[in-house]
Amino acid sequence: MSFAAPLFLLAALAGAIPVVLHLIHTKKAVAVRFSTLRFLRLSVERTRRRKYLDDVSLLLVRVAALALIAVGLAKPAISGLHVLRGHGASTAVVLVLDNSGSMALVDAGQPRFETARRAAEQVLDALHDGDSAALLLTGGAPAPEHGQLFHTQETVRQALAQCRVSAEKADLAGKLQQARALLAEADALNKEIYVLTDNQALSWQGLKEDAGEAGADVPVVLVNVSRDPAPNVALRNLHVEAPALTAGVPIRVSVEALNTSTVPQQKHLELHVNGSKEAVSPTLNLPPGGAVKHEFRFSVDRGGVHRGEVRLAEEDGSPLDNRLFFGLAVDQQIAVAVVKPRRAEIDYIDDAFYLERALAPAGADGWAVRVTALTPDQLAAESLSRYAVVFCVNLPAPDVPAAERLRDYARAGGHLFWVCGPDVRPEAYNRMNDALDGQLLPATLGEPAAPSGETKGSWHLGFLDRDHPALAPLTEPASLYQSVLVHKRMPLTVPPGSQARVLARLDDGTPLLVERAVGSGSALLLGTGLHVEWTNLPLKPIFLPLLARLTFHLAGMRTDRSGVPAGAPLVVPLGGQEAPTDVEIVRPSGEVLRLHPEDAGSHSFRYADTHDLGIYLVRVGEPQGQKQYVFAVNFDPEESDPAELTSEEVKARFGKRPLMVCDNPEDVAGTIQRLREGKSLWEVFLWAVLAGLVVEAFLANRFGSKPAEAGTTGPSG
């Protein structure tokens, strides 16, 4: 309890007046002896004791009434946070302003963020000269004015006027810790934290009920700006799919529309590519809390970078979650390298003859794949980053420098496809793979083998992975792949605990095609050759679609980077020893940044300034061998979650830590007054005084109306 006018407490000394008057007017009765009345002595003693109790009760009531008047004049108040504040002392305030994506939602006629900003201005208006303030935002690009205590509120006001809603999530628990650490360094007697938020449940996930952290006794005022949100539809789960990202190949874009409100809504979606509207969806009927998925199809007629987005055609409660971006680095053709040990004089006896024909069919003008044939000697001088897939067909084990270049190529997002043959020596391959920590081959090679037994001349292909996106369309009918025969193979053994995936098996259950992720890329291994002496696969109808679909799938994996939430870093593979000295960033605004990786031997480069939504281009390496990556940074889908915590739930999470909740953001000034001055008890004490006077009048009337007791003249002894 505190007192606005504590000097009036001295008036409580007036409570001694009734005591003094009582002692002055107390008279001692004269004892007169009456021998005939000696038997009344016992009755007189009882009457005297009762009279004494009545006088004491009346005296206490009068003393209490005077004391209550004095305490009431001192203007007592009790703080809702149970904190005894120092009046007239300096105050340090930290404003934790929630600017996460959910704060863009229109609520009670205006965005929640604007309501929170005005509430923050009320806090600054209540400060005096000598007080200090700081502003902490939950997201967005940091500014020099954020996270510092300033003794001039004007600096904080300017920072408050410039801040905007971000598309990122909020961590209010983390910001509270930062605010307490900031106030721990302040020398002000009074310290306060104001959290201005919509109480989204997602934002409070990190709050623990432990009150033992430093600064946990600093009072916190929670200003809840969530009242009556407008109906809103959020776009999420955007996916881009294509057999190959090449010109003319159909591309599918799917997106989900979520109705976060409690009323049904009807909406339309629009597809925009390179600034032009390509398609509009039919009317989507969205039930309360329900979601509807829609798919667009389109294609592009040229290679290069293409920028796309899906938009909500109508306006709704929040503009931030109405757009989702996607970016495509489309090749005019997919560049593929086929590395083979030698060039045969007769084409059809070449180990890679059938592979090259499948990847580049004769007479197929404008085909999506461009094949470059290389020898091991040419491989050493070639820039591998130019190729989406490198096929190594029947090669002797590469030497250490060549093997390291192939490993770095895979780490940086390339895809190695190893094909066995008579020149492959299992022992040398396994030794090469072990020297590079198993990052070149997904399985261990065994010695070449042929079927045993007099009647069995070959194995059948008995299994294709129906869950693999490239192979699934080829699994029905089963006769399409079961007619494939393998006359000679190299047994493949997948190491225990390996992340390798078996894509094809022979009818005896042994793996024939194995895939494993390597860094940002992958390595595949086929346990047989592609010559008719080893298998009839090149002669079967499944061969061309099998090779084409695998190539398209691997090439597509390199460019599908559409799901980066705002604030998350862009991770660009560099490839270890091939790490470049220059990285060029093109931001959504068109601004071009040239950066230098700090660690030239690192396998990846991270770019963290992704607070703006849109398409980011990352170009790696020198212009002649430059590799380009496309990233789409979008609104964090979790910010569309309408779930909120009630004030009681937040209080329960705060535990013993002092917390005051303001559910009316327009009356933050009143909350500040209650915090600093406490809740006035003036009315309570006035009622207590009135009740005391009534009791005093009742007792005085009751005791004064009694007839004089016989005990005024004492009995004789």
Cβ neighbours, 10 Å, residue 436 = 16
Q: Are 228 and 235 in contact (CB under 8 A)?
A: no
DSSP-assigned letter for residue 259: E
Average of pLDDT values for 348-376? 79
pLDDT of residue 332: 67
Residues 568-599: pLDDT tens digits? 998 877 654 445 567 889 999 999 998 877 65
Residues 631-658: pLDDT tens digits? 999 999 899 999 999 989 998 888 888 8
Taken in order 386, 392, 393, 397, the sign of the CA dihedral is positive
With a cut of 90, say whether residue 287 has pLDDT above it: yes
Provide the pLDDT confidence category of residue 555 given band limits of 50, 70 and 90: confident
Separation between Cα atoms, residue 691 and residue 703, nearest integer Å:
18
Which residues pair with residue 506 across a beta bridge? 461
Separation between Cα atoms, residue 192 and residue 361, nearest integer Å:
74
Rg (alpha carbons) of the chain, rounded to whole number: 42
Q: Are 403 and 440 in contact (CB under 8 A)?
A: yes
Q: How many CA atoms lie within 13 A of 610 on its CB side?
A: 24
677 vs 567, residue with greater confidence: 567
Q: List all residues 6 or more positions away from 20 whose beta carbon is below 8 Å from its beta carbon.
A: none
Provide the pLDDT confidence category of residue 103 given band limits of 50, 70 and 90: very high
Angle, alpha carbons 627-631-632 (nearest 5°): 160
With a cut of 90, say whether residue 368 has pLDDT above it: no
Q: List all residues 6 or more positions away from 264 whose beta carbon is below 8 Å from its beta carbon.
A: 285, 286, 287, 288
Counting Cβ atoms within 10 Å, is residue 333 exposed (0-12), middle (13-18) or buried (19+)?
A: middle
Q: How many CA atoms lie within 13 A of 260 on its CB side?
A: 23
288 vs 85, residue with greater confidence: 288
Separation between Cα atoms, residue 536 and residue 547, nearest integer Å:
14
Q: List all residues 6 or more positions away from 301 whose beta carbon is below 8 Å from its beta carbon.
A: 247, 248
DSSP H or E stretch at residue 400: helix 400-411
312 vs 712, residue with greater confidence: 312
Q: How far is Cα of residue 52 from the mean position of the Cα atoms in its chain?
A: 75
Read off φ and ψ for residue 240, nearest 5 degrees: -115, 125
User: In 3D, which of 53, 45, 55 has the Cα closest to residue 25?
Assistant: 55
454 vs 234, residue with greater confidence: 234
Residues 417-444: pLDDT tens digits? 999 999 999 999 999 999 998 899 999 9
Q: Which of 65-79, 281-295, 308-322 has the lowest mean pLDDT?
A: 65-79
Q: List all residues 6 or more positions away from 199 whose beta carbon is below 8 Å from its beta carbon.
A: 222, 224, 226, 644, 645, 646, 647, 650
Provide the pLDDT confidence category of residue 672 given band limits of 50, 70 and 90: confident
**pLDDT over 90 percentage in the chain:** 47
Counting Cβ atoms within 10 Å, is residue 348 exposed (0-12), middle (13-18) or buried (19+)?
A: exposed
Q: Which of 416-420, 428-432, 544-548, 676-680 has the lowest mean pLDDT?
A: 676-680
Q: What's the mean pLDDT when you consider all of the chain?
A: 82
Separation between Cα atoms, residue 602 and residue 598, nearest integer Å:
9
Q: Are 651 and 661 in contact (CB under 8 A)?
A: yes
What token pair was written down for 561? 């980077």
Average of pLDDT values for 269-291? 96
- Full-prediction pTM beyond 0.85? no
Read off φ and ψ for residue 258, nearest 5 degrees: -115, 125
Q: Which residue has the tokens 């539809």?
A: 233
With a cut of 50, say whether residue 698 has pLDDT above it: yes
Q: Are 481 and 475 in contact (CB under 8 A)?
A: yes
- Cis before 477? omega within 30: yes
Average of pLDDT values for 358-377? 78
Cβ neighbours, 10 Å, residue 584 = 17
Domains and CATH numbers, the chain: 2-79+680-712 (no CATH), 91-229+645-677 (3.40.50.410), 234-331 (2.60.40.10), 334-557 (3.40.50.880), 564-634 (2.60.40.10)
Q: Where are the beta strands (DSSP E) in 274-408?
A: 276-280, 284-286, 291-298, 304-312, 323-330, 334-339, 369-374, 389-393
Provide the pLDDT confidence category of residue 274 given band limits of 50, 70 and 90: very high
Q: Are 132 and 93 in contact (CB under 8 A)?
A: yes
Residues 150-196: pLDDT tens digits? 988 899 999 999 999 999 999 999 999 999 999 998 888 889 999 99
Separation between Cα atoms, residue 144 and residue 266, nearest integer Å:
44
Please report the DSSP string for 520-540 in residue order.
Answer: TEEEEEESS-SSTTTBSGGGS
DSSP-assigned letter for residue 30: P
Which residues pair with residue 330 across a beta bridge? 304
With a cut of 50, say whether residue 709 has pLDDT above it: no
With a cut of 80, say whether residue 78 has pLDDT above it: no
With a cut of 70, say whether residue 300 has pLDDT above it: yes
513 SS3 class:
strand
With a cut of 70, say whether residue 397 has pLDDT above it: yes
Q: Which residue has the tokens 């030698």?
A: 342
pLDDT of residue 161: 93
Residues 302-359: pLDDT tens digits? 878 899 999 999 999 999 999 999 998 877 678 899 998 876 666 667 788 889 888 8
Cβ neighbours, 10 Å, residue 618 = 20
334 vs 367, residue with greater confidence: 334
With a cut of 60, say whether residue 2 has pLDDT above it: no
